[in-house]
């Protein structure tokens, strides 16, 4: 999870899915490279980098 456009968002492939309490919004493809604020705790990033595949909410998978 990152902060994108002032809101939490999921990075999924080359897409960014804005998050809200209702679920994930429509994906956007940010132009070019951006420096972002990472919201995911660093310990969780280690687990993800090691290959753990988290379950995603249906609103993320459908996008």
Task: Give residue-wise pLDDT tens across range 11-53.
Answer: 988 899 999 999 999 999 888 777 889 999 999 999 999 999 9
Q: From CA 15, how far away is CA 26, in angstroms rounded? A: 10
Length of the chain: 63
pTM for this entry: 0.80
Q: Comparing C-alpha atoms, which of 48, 57, 3, 52 is closest to residue 30?
A: 3
d(C-alpha 42, C-alpha 39), whole Å:
9
């Amino acid at each position: 999870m990152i902060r994108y456009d002032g809101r939490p968002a999921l990075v999924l492939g080359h897409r960014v899915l804005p998050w809200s309490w209702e679920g994930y919004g429509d994906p956007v493809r940010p132009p070019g490279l951006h420096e972002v604020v990472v919201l995911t705790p660093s310990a969780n990033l280690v687990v993800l980098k090691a290959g753990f595949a988290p379950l995603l909410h249906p609103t993320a998978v459908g996008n």
